[in-house]
Homo-oligomer: A and B are copies of this chain.
Amino acid sequence: MRDQGLQNPTDKPLRLSGTRFTATYLLHGPAIDAQRAAEDLCIEQTIEYPADLVRDEGIRSQIFGRTLALDPVHPHLTRATISFAVEIAGGELTQLLNTLFGNISLKPGIRLVDVEPVPELIAPYRGPRFGTAGLRELLQAPTRPLLATALKPMGLPADVLADLAHDLALGGIDLIKDDHGLADQEFGHFRERVERCSAAVRKAAAKTGRPCLYAPNVSGPADQLRQRARFAKAAGAGALLVAPGLVGFDAMRMLADDDSVALPILCHPALLGSFVVHPSHGIGHGVLLGTLARLGGADISIFPNHGGRFSFSTQDCREIVQACRAPLSANRAILPAPAGGMRVDRVAEMRQFYGDDVVLLIGGDLHRSSNLIERCGELRDLVAGG
């Protein structure tokens, strides 16, 4: 027999470091409900257990989330600042995601908009291996915008894609990535594509004397991720394309951390849209495609530019850019790569909006010309110098 509920009957009381980090959430709903919603969140994201049944003082004072502030934004929107013990996130990106938004993803009306980068929280993550500075060094482009494009459409044979990659490199594109739909299909095998395209890009770079990085898409089965990355490295690929929405943020982190690969990582947002598209729910654009992408080791974060085929606003894009560049403990700043139906005629405007620490990712529009190499040259001229 014992009393209702749980306590820690041992002589080993819980002793955490006392270091906590804050996460900021926007709570949609009447301000009068915000206090309860924040308290629910504090419990849901930690003990997920009836709080009244926990009588252990160590758990109550150290494990429970804490509401530090509730700031009304307007009558139906409250900004809640919640703190969690750093130990709860456990030094694992999976558990950090779980702590920040695991169970509450199942509730409408809650949006995670900021995570405080306390050093003890961030320290377990090696972060981007190259970042902005490392990429610029690799590409011998100290100040200008970098240029990227995608190999597509799916259905073309490897040798045709390789010819295309060759011409794009010859034309002056810095980064040539697989379209994220190129996987390991019967009509387009991963290994053949990676070997041919890597070789073609290196051949073109040897001709021009300018570095160019080919980034094959290694997003695939969990038990083949490392092998694909290592194969790509051995074949001479210069970077990797990874979609953390498909493989998990921590799988991207694993590839970034693999010293036997050591290639720049381009983060693709496939399947991640559901976290951001509803302003009243999910994870803020900056947190998801900036902060979490960096913790996951991305050197470049691809996202849909405003005014393209997708629905991101200028403010959404600004948040991503800020999170790519903001201090994040010892993590390197990374490059935003606005994409999604971008056109050569928008380059000037994009430079104005993003500045020059940016990757301009232009796909189909490059092909609206009878001479692809010349068209790339025109684009290159637009960002010349530096």
Query: Is A47's beta carbon under 8 Å from chain B?
Result: yes
In whole angstroms, what is the CA distance A94 to B53 when docked?
Answer: 41
A94 and B274: CB pair below 8 A? no
Query: Is A233's beta carbon under 8 Å from chain B?
Result: no
Main secondary structure of the interface of A (DSSP, over half): loop
Copies in the complex: 2
B53 and A368: CB pair below 8 A? yes
A101 to chain B, nearest CB (A): 6
- Chain B residues with Cβ below 8 Å from A48 are 150, 152-153, 179-181, 363
User: Contacting A367 at CB < 8 Å: which of B9, B50, B152, B184?
Assistant: B50
- Chain B residues with Cβ below 8 Å from A46 are 153-154, 181
Interface string of A323-334 (1 = CB under 8 A from B): 000000000000
- Chain B residues with Cβ below 8 Å from A180 are 48, 98, 102-103
B87 and A185: CB pair below 8 A? yes
B278 and A108: CB pair below 8 A? yes
- Chain B residues with Cβ below 8 Å from A122 are none
B247 and A221: CB pair below 8 A? no
Within 8 A of B (CB), among A33-62: 40, 44-50, 53-54, 56, 58-59, 62
- Chain B residues with Cβ below 8 Å from A248 are 222, 246-248, 251
In whole angstroms, what is the CA distance A365 to B49 when docked?
Answer: 9
Q: Which 4 A-B pairs have the closest CB atoms?
A: A105-B273, A47-B153, A106-B273, A102-B270
A-B residue pairs in contact (CB < 8 Å), sample of 6: A1-B371, A5-B367, A53-B367, A94-B219, A223-B226, A274-B283
